[in-house]
Structure 1
């Protein structure tokens, strides 16, 4: 069976590492590389943690690349510091040397190269802002035909966003962070003909990270990957935390658990709604993950990480 070719682009939040870990467990996926976009992280520890995770899981042939793009609205420092914590977890620091390669190219140039060299169109699994994708497309418009689709965690369609008005003055609360970091680049990707399957807050709001589930991961502690997942989620359990990136990524493994719905949309790039994904007649048609079998999803990730 031919494997599905996937290139991962994440932005270094706690759930980005967990999404990468989940993707690496999918036997029908051939992961061509991981790009780290410097958004919800400090990029050096985020790159380091990513390489350590790939090493731990035994896939050290998979290259990692550091994107050098910049957004418009930085993530709060409190969010980004998690990359430093994850990089220091003892389970990721048992070996003195890293074998997973860090390529010399920037992440955007690496994305261009991977897509051009791929024997067939590649699925982009994006769990951060779309900026690296937009810059790669701007540098090399020919790669659009080499992108099979973008599966993206981002946006809020019929629910409020998660950019808090109290933190971001002049905002109306409709923006989701992965759009808000760089809405202009998201809008550029919206102008392409690339198929987009998005996992919006509309769905993730219904799939929380629970204490019970984290404890179940801990009970699988004789499995290093489940142990690592539980440690990562333990960092965020005191706050309201949801399966954002992991829920989006699980779609590649078990699409039958999801129902998709088509919407016509546009990205708002300025004003008090900057970063909003707005439903508008005649806008870009996208597919949004609308429903998921939550219990089956929870069982799936526990099973996949039991290794």
Structure 2
């Protein structure tokens, strides 16, 4: 069983990834840490607690970075993709989860856990890398103690999804991404190179709703909103890519993907800010996912995501 810290900016695909991870016995989730990204950090924390409540799970949630490493607050959130609430407008704005976030900051939780369990903890990071960068800056010793960081982010051999160069998580805090990817921490980069090869078909949402489970209906409703955004950006796809869930899939079974060892440079200035440039290097501790067995992964995801 892998010991996991799951760093999220909880929007819709984060919620799907959470459900997948929580229903996977291979993973021991020590805690969720939240960051701005799809939504403001306060909303990411609320959404994380909401998903846990809907899935009837009780795992610590630690609120983290509310702004970028060096560039202040993020100015715009992708509400057209994730909704006003970040979960496809499934939450009543007067509703608050009964679960409460844990005391303490996400960065301190990461440091404490990694130092108390050297070489045991895998961090799955599916938002901007600000919390991870802050942890490395605050206590550089953790770089040699963390087992692996699995990052959903980047677009090495394919175009970005925010502009022709950059993927959303990386461009949200390019300085943090550059710090983490140049730190020497062992990384598996699960980027658009592979996540855009995956697809959750729209037909599956009716199957989820038909189960009658409240949690399944919750996931189906929010994912339907997400798919409507895909209908605009990727007409004819008939579903949505499983970006964040694939990072979880790689944590469960690394054979879902093929990788190449590369050094990664993140562009931090100019028109191409956020671009991830890969240079093959057999000695690098960064493994970039370059291909995925999409059919096997999607089948596995569907077998897990709405388990009771």
> Normalised by the size of structure 1, how large is the TM-score?
0.86
Kept after mapping to 2: 8 A contact 1:65/1:106: yes
Distance in 1, matches of 2:273 and 2:97, equals 43
| Number of equivalenced pairs | 293
Distance in 2, matches of 1:263 and 1:120, equals 22
Distance in 1, matches of 2:133 and 2:14, equals 19
Q: CA deviation at 1:90?
A: 6.4
Q: CA deviation at 1:120?
A: 4.7
Matched residue SS, 2:85: helix
Moved more, 147-156 or 292-301: 292-301
Q: Which residue of 2 aligns with 1:63?
A: 60
Q: Which residue of 2 aligns with 1:167?
A: none
Residue ranges of structure 1 left out of the alignment (5+ in a row): 165-172
Matched residue SS, 1:103: coil
Matched residue SS, 1:260: strand
**Residue 190 (structure 2) aligned to one of 199, 222, 245:** 199
**Residue 26 (structure 1) aligned to one of 24, 27, 33:** 24
User: Superposition pairs for residues 204-243 of structure 1, below 5 Å?
Assistant: 204-219=195-210, 221-240=211-230, 241-243=240-242
Q: CA deviation at 1:236?
A: 1.3
Kept after mapping to 2: 8 A contact 1:41/1:79: no
Matched residue SS, 1:68: coil
User: CA-atom RMSD, angstroms?
Assistant: 2.6
Distance in 2, matches of 1:85 and 1:272, equals 28
Q: Which residue of 2 aligns with 1:147?
A: 146
Kept after mapping to 2: 8 A contact 1:42/1:80: no
Q: Which residue of 1 aligns with 2:237?
A: none
Q: Which residue of 2 aligns with 1:303?
A: 303
Pair 1:155–1:104, CA change in 2 (3 A): same
Pair 1:85–1:179, CA change in 2 (3 A): closer
Pair 1:265–1:119, CA change in 2 (3 A): closer
Moved more, 48-57 or 138-147: 48-57
Q: CA deviation at 1:46?
A: 2.3
Residue ranges of structure 2 left out of the alignment (5+ in a row): 231-239
Kept after mapping to 2: 8 A contact 1:9/1:128: yes
Does 2:38 align with 1:47?
no
